């Protein structure tokens, strides 16, 4: 199973600005005809592990177009909260259709000595 862990550092959280984490993977694969091709893989589950000591906000975007819309007018996008000292697991049924990029930030406060991690689990190609 393909998995990847993305750290979000104390410095990134303490900056109180949005950090963009690219969660997809481009992987060389073999097509049914035997040809080599690059395929985009997306996680089937995302586990947010917040060890920072402060509440963190996050949102999951499915494309560059969606991020461009957010950049043009962020008032139409609400972020969900990952409370301090907790873990939040989202599965493919919740994050439909794809987890292309995660935007994350800490709106206030100063994090402890560590940041947090975003664990992407069970990468599969988008069919």
Strand segments (E) across the chain: 3-8, 19-22, 25-30, 36-42, 45-50, 56-61, 80-82, 86-91, 101-105, 116-121, 124-125
Q: For the chain, how far is it from start to end, CA to CA, in angstroms?
A: 17
Domain span holding position 57: 3-125
Res 28 pLDDT > 70? yes
Contact between 11 and 76 under an 8 Å Cβ cutoff? The reply is: no
pLDDT tens-digit readout, 51-98: 999 999 999 999 999 999 999 998 889 999 999 999 999 887 765 568
Domain count along the chain: 1
Tell me the CATH number at 23. Answer: 2.60.120
Q: Which residues contact 125 (CB under 8 A, 6 or more apart)?
A: 29, 39, 40, 41, 42
Q: Report the DSSP pairing between strands 56-61 and 86-91.
A: unpaired
Q: pTM for the complete prediction?
A: 0.88
Res 11 pLDDT > 70? yes
Q: Residue 18 has what pLDDT? A: 94
């Amino acid at each position: 199973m393909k998995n990847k862990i993305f750290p979000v550092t104390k410095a990134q959280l303490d900056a109180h600005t949005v950090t963009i984490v690219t969660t997809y993977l481009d992987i060389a694969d073999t097509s049914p005809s035997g040809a080599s091709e690059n395929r985009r893989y997306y996680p089937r589950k995302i586990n947010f592990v917040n060890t920072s000591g402060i509440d963190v906000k996050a949102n999951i975007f499915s494309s560059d177009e969606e991020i461009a819309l957010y950049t043009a007018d962020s008032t139409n996008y609400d972020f969900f909260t990952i409370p301090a000292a907790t873990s939040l697991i989202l599965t493919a049924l919740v994050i439909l259709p794809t987890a292309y990029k995660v935007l994350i930030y800490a709106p206030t406060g100063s994090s402890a000595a560590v940041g947090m991690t975003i664990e992407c689990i069970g990468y599969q190609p988008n069919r």
